[in-house]
């Protein structure tokens, strides 16, 4: 590129670019021939007016001003020139671990153990410094990097290791807090806390650094490859089995033991950064590798030709995922104007489908997205003939929907079912029995209700919940508002036009809306994981609130759907179902008991503590000893424990549906 000026800086060449910012090699000159070369990080023009991006950039500058450590890339200057925010940073003459790892793999080389330990010790020491940093008032800043990945670990020409890019770091006084429920970090280099959107502290960085070190020795990602959600599930479960299966020459037992301590699934069981650095230093001493790592890394950089890039080389890191203000990858999120986005999609000619009913009536034509919506909502079943472009024959792209037992709503499937009528609390009690007895099968709910208060219009809603050994596995629904796209829009995860874009390219992704959204850069894989989990959870909770209709339980039935283990707690759903039940419904259900005496059920299968109920509910149960009517129980709990009457009624209702108490 031709040199151009940005204030006092002359831009020499672009080093890296992404969807949010770009980094240039630049130089600043002064009197008497003074000159300094820097890496100049500039926010992209299209994000200058985005308050969130600007706040993140300013927060990065605020953090960088505090960080003065040899193992962290230094920031010298921060400013705004004609609306362009920039950070002037230390220019590292070297490469990053991502490129080093790929080059070594291509050359069939292995990064020496001394080099791996050098990376771990230096990075862990830098993290410990950041985690322990205090402000001018001696208050802990609680900085967490949250993006420790190969792309952000730099190796200089001399083999020194430096941690870069605090662009998505969290710290105690950040103006733009990045713990807002969105998951940030690169796929494959996240901690279980990040995947589950839980609170993170410095031990999250330790987990991700240990993930990087494991990959350096294994020569492949610790949590594998494949579908994004599958990788996230492995991380969430802390599945580090590749360490146990690894060849001892690649993964010595003493290194594996240290990594296992840093990769503990629970943060409380995990080493902190200082402890991790100390453990790695001890290992290096025992193996007499102290002081050898830098030389090993420097020689690898030179041997693999990673330290002499051409003057016009522009670096992009294909393994990185959308993260901070620089995303070193090519498939970044497109701009947010609908016309620009659609122009970038290169959408092929749409395929249309027709549905031929048993009565010979042909319906359609439907787009791919529309026919899937109609199948999922129960408007089309496997008995009808579906034609593509008016031609008879198979439609394999629809088979996973047309042939799915979870999408069928026939009466034949209920031949072996136990059936009954739905009343307030019925579904809660049914689910509690299924979960507590660890049953496998399908709970189906059907209801037809008048629309607009008349019988002229009717709305049928149907729902199926599949359980395996008492754990909720899959839920299907005919309610349009419960489709994934509607859920994402309603909860502010995506814009309507972004979902429409994904629907336009749905055939490329086998009908999977989530995969299409990730491919377009609209949503990150980890955010999709949480969105799917919340969508499924909402489907369960909606079913638990049904007050009318018919229920049927088919023992042993399986969904045969491709499902991800979303770790749904069945007992927790029962608790949350009671919490989300409207108070008038609870009052009506309890009133129907009249003066019946409630007795604690000593044969209950599940104790109260297993449900993790609110403390007010526990105190409601503690306040009563022996049989009592609802009225007496309520009065005793309010009198002795000073509990809110609404919470007392909710706790009593929970006791009944959970079989902790029974009417004598």
What are the residue numbers of the active site? 147
What is the C-alpha separation between 654 and 575, in angstroms, rounded?
A: 7
Residue 290 vs residues 191, 279, 282: alpha-carbon distances, Å: 29, 13, 9
The residue with tokens 């009466």 is 411
Parallel/antiparallel/unpaired status of strands 597-600 and 661-663: antiparallel
What is the C-alpha separation between 199 and 170, in angstroms, rounded?
A: 11
Q: Which two tokens stand for residue 258?
A: 């240290």
C-alpha dihedral over 471, 445, 546, 532, to 10 degrees? 50
Question: Which regions of 384-507 does DSSP assign to beta strands (E)?
Answer: 385-388, 418-421, 441-451, 457-468, 471-477
Question: 222 near 215, Cβ under 8 Å?
Answer: yes
Coil vs helix vs strand at 311:
coil
Based on C-alpha coordinates, what's the Rg of the chain?
29
Coil vs helix vs strand at 467:
strand
Residue 415 vs residues 197, 484, 554, 555, 561: alpha-carbon distances, Å: 43, 31, 8, 11, 21
Helices then strands, each counted (H, E), the chain: 23, 20
Question: 92 near 154, Cβ under 8 Å?
Answer: yes
Q: Which two tokens stand for residue 610?
A: 């297993």
How many Cα atoms are found within 13 Å in the side-chain-facing hemisphere of 55? 10
Residue 544 vs residues 117, 425, 436: alpha-carbon distances, Å: 53, 8, 16
CA 495, 496, 499, 505 dihedral sign is negative
Question: 57 near 79, Cβ under 8 Å?
Answer: no
The residue with tokens 């998951």 is 183
Write the CB contacts of 132 (distance below 8 Å, at least 6 apart in sequence).
140, 274
Phi, psi for 26 (deg, rounded to 5): -140, 165
């Amino acid at each position: 590129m031709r040199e151009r000026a940005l204030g006092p800086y002359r831009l020499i060449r672009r080093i890296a670019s992404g969807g949010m910012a770009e980094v240039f090699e630049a130089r600043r000159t002064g009197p008497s021939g003074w000159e300094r070369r820097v890496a100049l990080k500039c926010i992209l023009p299209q994000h200058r007016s985005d308050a969130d991006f600007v706040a993140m950039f300013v927060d990065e500058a605020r953090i960088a001003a505090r960080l003065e450590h040899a193992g962290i890339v230094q920031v010298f200057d921060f400013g705004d020139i004609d609306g362009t925010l920039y950070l002037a940073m230390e220019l590292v003459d070297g490469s990053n671990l991502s490129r080093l790892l790929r080059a070594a793999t291509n050359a069939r080389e292995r990064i020496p153990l001394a080099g791996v330990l050098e990376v771990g010790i230096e990075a862990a020491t830098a993290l410990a410094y950041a985690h322990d940093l205090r402000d001018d008032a001696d208050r802990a800043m609680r900085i967490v990097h949250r993006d420790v990945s190969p792309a952000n670990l730099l190796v200089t020409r001399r083999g020194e290791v430096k941690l870069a890019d605090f662009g998505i770091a969290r710290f105690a006084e950040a103006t733009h807090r990045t713990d807002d429920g969105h998951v940030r970090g690169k796929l494959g280099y996240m901690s279980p806390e990040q995947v589950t959107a839980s609170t993170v502290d410095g031990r999250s960085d330790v987990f991700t650094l240990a993930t990087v070190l494991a990959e350096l020795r294994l020569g492949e990602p610790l949590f594998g490859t494949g579908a994004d959600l599958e990788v996230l599930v492995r991380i969430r479960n802390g599945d580090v089995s590749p360490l146990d299966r690894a060849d001892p020459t690649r993964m010595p037992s003493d290194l594996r033991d240290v990594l296992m301590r840093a990769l503990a699934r629970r943060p409380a069981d995990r080493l902190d950064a200082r402890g991790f650095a100390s453990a790695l230093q001890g290992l290096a001493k025992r193996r007499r590798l102290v002081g050898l790592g830098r030389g090993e890394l420097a020689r690898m950089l030179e041997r693999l030709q990673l330290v002499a890039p051409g003057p016009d080389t522009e670096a992009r890191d294909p393994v990185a995922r959308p993260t901070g203000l620089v995303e070193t990858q090519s498939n970044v999120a497109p701009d947010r104007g609908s016309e620009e986005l659609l122009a970038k999609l290169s959408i092929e000619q749409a395929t249309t489908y027709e549905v031929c009913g048993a009565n010979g009536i042909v319906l359609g034509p439907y787009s791919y997205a529309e026919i899937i919506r109609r199948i999922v909502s129960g408007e089309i079943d496997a008995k009808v003939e579906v034609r593509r472009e008016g031609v008879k024959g198979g439609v394999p792209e629809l088979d996973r929907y047309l042939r799915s037992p979870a999408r069928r709503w026939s009466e034949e499937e209920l031949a072996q079912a136990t059936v009954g009528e739905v009343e307030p609390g019925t579904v809660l009690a049914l689910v509690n029995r299924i979960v507590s007895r660890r049953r496998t099968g399908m709970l189906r709910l059907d209801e037809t209700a008048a629309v607009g208060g008349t019988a002229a219009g009717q709305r049928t809603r149907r729902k199926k919940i599949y359980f395996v050994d008492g754990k909720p596995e899959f839920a299907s629904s005919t309610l349009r508002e419960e489709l994934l796209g509607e859920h994402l829009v309603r909860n502010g995860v995506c814009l309507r036009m972004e979902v429409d874009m994904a629907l336009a390219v749905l055939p490329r992704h086998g009908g999977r809306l989530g995969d299409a959204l990730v491919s377009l850069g609209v949503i990150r894989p980890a955010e999709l994981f949480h969105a799917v989990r919340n969508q499924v959870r909402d489907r369960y909770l909606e079913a638990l609130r049904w007050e009318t209709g018919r229920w049927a339980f088919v023992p042993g039935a399986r969904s045969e759907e491709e499902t991800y283990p979303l770790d749904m707690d069945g007992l927790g759903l029962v608790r949350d179902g009671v919490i989300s039940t409207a108070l008038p419904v609870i009052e009506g259900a309890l009133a129907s008991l009249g003066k019946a005496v409630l007795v604690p059920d000593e044969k209950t299968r599940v104790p109260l503590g297993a449900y993790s109920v609110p403390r007010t509910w526990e105190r409601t149960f503690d306040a009563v000893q022996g049989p009592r009517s609802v009225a007496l129980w309520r009065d005793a709990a309010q009198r002795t424990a000073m509990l809110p009457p609404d919470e007392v009624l909710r706790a009593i209702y929970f006791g009944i549906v959970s079989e902790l108490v029974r009417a004598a």
